[in-house]
Amino acid sequence: MNGSVGVIAAPRGRLLYVLEFTMRNGKITEVDLISDPARIRQLDLAVLGDW
């Protein structure tokens, strides 16, 4: 998400919210839950493939 790893919640393919993580010194210091559809549309989202 915007160049960082985040979490997308999309049960049955319906996007409900996105969790955006702020990292400092290798640790999560902030979690932002984004559920506003207009704000979600502004994000650059991609799904990672199998590793």
Q: What is the pLDDT of residues 17-49, one digit of tens each?
A: 999 998 889 898 999 999 999 999 998 888 777
| Residue-level pLDDT at 46 | 82
What is the count of structural domains for the chain? Answer: 1
Across the beta sheet with 6-9, the strand order is 6-9, 17-24, 27-34
Domain range for 18 is 6-41
50 in a domain, yes or no?
no
Does residue 13 form part of some domain? Answer: yes
**Residue 12 backbone class (left: φ over 0; alpha: ψ -120 to 50; beta: rest):** left
Kindly report the length of the chain: 51
- DSSP for 4-47, written as a single string: S-EEEE-GGG---EEEEEEEETTEEEEEEEE--HHHHHTS----
Statement: the pTM of the whole predicted model exceeds 0.85: no
Domain assignment of residue 46, yes or no? no
Is 32 within a domain?
A: yes
